[in-house]
């Protein structure tokens, strides 16, 4: 699964001097984000409350408890799927770490996943539970400390100098070993973890230059399925095979792994989680292109949500078409262990049918209320072989942004190798390059035909009026060598007629001299009364489906002219045979009398006659009932009228007698 991931403390402005806001955490939760990084630091106030800020910068601080409350309030408003909270824990106070753990327990309540599921214990070779099985749960990612054995502890004391701090001696964060992992393997991994991702970071890896604090027992008990560990190599990770461990890669290091070992990186992501985060030199909170790491199957591709650039727009567009659940299922070949995938492959992926996408921009509606020219750009994002930036740029309309019309040739993306990972972007701009709106649509979500596409703003919010009218075709990709076969299958009648026409042209070119003279002689004699019939026989009889074979001459004996005794019989022309005509047969049309005598016709006539009789009977019965009903009502009304009339007469007579 891919998951929407947020990186770094959420700042309203930049990463160096911006102001942090609790409201931003609510916004990213409501936007469907399922993984949020919390940069936790020791509070300096008298209350000793842990805070969240971007370390070693001038960004403002916000209370850790307030952020946890905001996340608990909005975590499952948009999506019921699990939320991962990635703690960058620099709180070196055991008391404040205990407060952090207590806040998580009390505020999240039952939503906080503390113990692993029974079906998925923390053991080697056991896969992670699916998001469906963790619905409504919050998972904590934090350094997890484990008390080493006495022998292991003595060995560490002997290996480390006496002047090293206790924090450096206890910097290991490996989880407890499963039964089938040897002590030697655990010891070697623990030693390697001393130089993990919590060590000092270079300027390219991050801005915080202090290692994470040692996790206390209270915080360690909250960590289960997302235990951070240092990445050593793809081979060692495969050997250990602990799905509950995950590694974080700065974008530059991840790009290096992707370049050198693309297939191994994909295999690694089938087994366990990987998280990609921006390099530290992005002080302006800019984002890298997430498509690079989606292609390798990286699940947690962290972006700066406060910067709505093209990378963030692509991220929002990708997850929009899954109900904003925050998760998207990876293709089967990126999940199955028996399948292998190279993100840089240029040939068709095994089991996946490549697509051909054709887009024609027809017109725009209400793109701007200004009297300016506008134009449309098309981009395709996906695998490196599928990506085409600014594949199409229409002409700029002449000061018409209300209803511009573009009569241009469509753009054809001939071969989209992996449609599952590809997205089409349609963007509108003013003539000066000012952004108007755009729409990012994954190729599997495209509906072919004439479509009216409403545009979105930078934050992927729907604009009221701006829209683009387009025509889109999405077809299975067919190599050029098989184009004729596909054309014949899609329109067989046209294909047969074309073959027939070609056969006639070839027959005219290959006609021998004697046959040509005979043909001319027959045509010359066709005007005579007795020779009219042979001319008619030159026409071929129509066959089924409106098809006709090649012209053939039927020899006949000429009796009305003395020339018939000396003229040789006409040689019939060779009949053209092809793969379609060979299965066509002449069918004699049945007469009307024969059809009337057919059993099926007779049976249908009898059935119709019976149904008609039933209808007539029902009609007559209903008519009689209605007549009877109306007669009864009429008689009742007549009697009532008579009684009233008699009563009125009696009243008048009684008045006269008085």
Domain boundaries, the chain: 2-144+203-334, 355-477, 494-584, 587-617
For the chain, give me the number of helices (H) and strands (E)? Answer: 18, 19
> Which tokens hold the place of 201?
């970071």
Highest mean pLDDT among 8-17, 557-566, 610-619: 610-619
- pLDDT tens by residue, 154-183: 444 344 443 343 333 333 344 333 334 433
Considering only 216-220, 324-328, 503-507, which range has the smallest mean pLDDT?
Answer: 503-507
d(Cα 259, Cα 249) in Å, to the nearest integer? 14
* H/E run at residue 62: strand 62-63
Q: How does residue 265 score in pLDDT terms, banded at 50, 70 and 90?
A: very high
CA nearest to 291, candidates 305, 276, 281: 276
Please state, in angstroms and rounded to a whole number, the distance separating the CA atoms of residues 278 and 203. Answer: 12
- Model confidence pLDDT, tens digit, residues 227-256: 999 999 999 999 999 999 999 999 999 999
Its CATH class, for the domain covering 2-144+203-334, is alpha beta
- Classify the phi-psi angles of 546: left when phi > 0, otherwise alpha if psi is within -120 to 50, otherwise beta: left
How confident is the model at residue 188, as a pLDDT? 37
For the chain, how far is it from start to end, CA to CA, in angstroms?
105
Q: What are phi and psi of 144, to 5 degrees?
A: -120, 115
Strand ranges (E), 90-135: none
Q: Higher pLDDT residue, 603 or 629?
A: 629
- β-partners of residue 450 are 471
Phi, psi of 377, deg, nearest 5: -120, 145
Contact 86, 275 (CB under 8 A): yes
Q: What is the DSSP code string of 356-402?
A: EEEEEEEEEES--SSS--EEEEEEEESSTTT-EEEEEEPPPPSS--S
Q: Does domain 355-477 have CATH number 2.60.40.150?
A: yes
Look at 418 and 519; give whichever has higher pLDDT.
418
pLDDT for res 204:
52
Per the CB < 8 A criterion, the answer to whether 436 and 429 are in contact is yes
Distance CA 283, CA 203 (A): 11
Q: Which two tokens stand for residue 21?
A: 């806001």
102, two tokens = 């207590």
């Amino acid at each position: 699964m891919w998951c929407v991931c947020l990186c770094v403390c959420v700042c309203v402005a930049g990463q160096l001097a911006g102001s942090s806001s609790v409201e931003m955490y609510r916004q990213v939760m409501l936007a469907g984000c399922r993984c949020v990084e919390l940069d936790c630091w020791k509070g300096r106030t008298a209350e000793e409350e842990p805070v969240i800020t971007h370390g070693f910068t001038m960004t403002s601080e916000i209370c850790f408890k307030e952020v946890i409350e905001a996340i608990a309030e909005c975590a499952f408003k948009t999506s019921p799927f699990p939320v991962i909270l990635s703690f960058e824990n620099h709180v070196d106070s055991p008391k404040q770490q205990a407060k952090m753990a207590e806040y998580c327990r009390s505020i999240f309540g039952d939503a906080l996943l503390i113990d692993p599921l029974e079906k998925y214990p923390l053991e080697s070779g056991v896969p992670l539970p699916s998001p469906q099985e963790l619905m409504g749960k919050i998972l904590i990612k934090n350094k997890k400390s484990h008390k080493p054995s006495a022998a292991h502890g003595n060995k560490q004391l002997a290996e480390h100098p006496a002047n090293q701090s206790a924090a450096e001696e206890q910097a290991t964060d490996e989880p407890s070993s499963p039964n089938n992992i040897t002590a030697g393997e655990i010891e070697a991994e623990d030693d390697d973890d001393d130089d993990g991702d919590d060590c000092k970071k270079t300027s390219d890896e991050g801005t915080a230059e202090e290692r994470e604090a040692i996790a206390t027992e209270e915080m360690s008990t909250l960590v289960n399925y997302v235990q951070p560990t240092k990445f050593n190599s793809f081979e060692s990770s495969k050997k250990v095979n602990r799905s509950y461990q995950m590694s974080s890669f700065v974008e530059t290091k991840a790009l290096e792994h992707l370049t050198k070992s693309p297939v191994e990186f994909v295999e690694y992501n089938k087994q366990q989680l990987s998280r990609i985060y921006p390099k530290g030199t992005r002080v302006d909170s800019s984002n890298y292109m997430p498509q690079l790491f989606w292609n390798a199957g990286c699940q947690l591709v962290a972006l700066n949500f406060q910067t709505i650039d093209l990378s963030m727009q692509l991220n929002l567009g990708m997850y929009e078409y899954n109900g904003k659940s925050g998760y998207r299922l990876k293709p089967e070949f990126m999940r199955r262990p028996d399948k292998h995938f190279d993100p840089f492959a240029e040939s068709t992926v095994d089991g996946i049918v490549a697509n051909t996408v054709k887009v024609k921009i027809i017109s725009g509606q209400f793109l701007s209320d200004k009297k300016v020219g506008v134009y449309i750009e098309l981009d395709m994002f996906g695998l490196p072989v599928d990506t085409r930036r600014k594949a199409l740029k229409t002409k700029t309309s002449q000061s018409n942004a209300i209803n511009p019309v573009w009569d241009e040739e469509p753009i054809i993306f001939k071969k989209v190798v992996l449609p599952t990972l590809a997205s089409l972007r349609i963007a509108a701009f003013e003539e000066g390059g000012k952004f108007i709106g755009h729409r990012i649509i994954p190729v599997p979500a495209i509906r072919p035909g004439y479509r009216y596409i409403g545009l979105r703003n930078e934050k992927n919010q729907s604009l009221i009026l701006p829209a683009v009218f387009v025509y889109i075709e999405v077809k299975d990709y067919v190599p050029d060598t098989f184009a004729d076969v596909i054309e014949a299958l899609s329109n067989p009648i046209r294909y047969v007629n074309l073959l027939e026409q070609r056969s006639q042209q070839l027959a005219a070119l290959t006609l021998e001299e004697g046959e040509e003279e005979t043909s001319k002689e027959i045509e010359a004699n066709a005007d005579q009364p007795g020779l009219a019939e042979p001319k008619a026989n030159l026409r071929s009889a129509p066959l089924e489906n409106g098809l006709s074979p090649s012209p053939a001459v039927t020899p006949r004996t000429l009796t009305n002219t003395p020339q018939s005794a000396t003229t040789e019989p006409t040689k019939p022309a060779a009949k053209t045979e092809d793969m379609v005509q060979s299965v066509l047969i002449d069918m004699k049309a049945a007469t009307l009398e024969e059809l009337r005598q057919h059993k099926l016709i007779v049976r249908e006539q009898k059935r119709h006659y019976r149904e008609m009789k039933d209808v007539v009977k029902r009609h007559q019965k209903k008519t009689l009932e209605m007549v009877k009903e109306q007669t009864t009502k009429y008689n009742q009304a007549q009697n009532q009228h008579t009684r009233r009339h008699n009563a009125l007469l009696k009243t008048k007579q009684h008045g006269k007698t008085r």
